Amino acid sequence: MNKYQKYYEEMTTINPDDQEGIGVDQLEEPFISLGLAYTRDEINNLIASVDDDGSGRIEFGEFLRIIHNKSKLKTQGNKKITSFFKQLASDKLGGDSDLKHFSFKTIMDIMRRKNLLKAFLSKNPEEKKEGEKVLKAYSEMLQKRKGK
Would the pLDDT of 37 be above 80?
A: yes
Q: How many whole angstroms separate alpha carbon 133 and alpha carbon 64?
A: 31
Q: What is the pTM of this model?
A: 0.76
CA angle 42, 43, 47 (to 5 degrees): 120
Query: Domain with 127 in it: what CATH number?
Result: 1.10.238.10
- Tell me if 24 sits within 8 A of 58, measured CB to CB: no
For 48, the domain range is 3-147
Q: What is the mean pLDDT of the chain?
A: 81
Q: How many whole angstroms separate alpha carbon 144 and alpha carbon 48?
A: 22
- Tell me if 38 sits within 8 A of 133, measured CB to CB: yes
- Number of structural domains (the chain) is 1
pLDDT digits (tens, 9 = 90+) for 47-93: 888 888 999 998 888 888 877 776 655 555 567 777 777 777 777 77
pLDDT of residue 97: 61
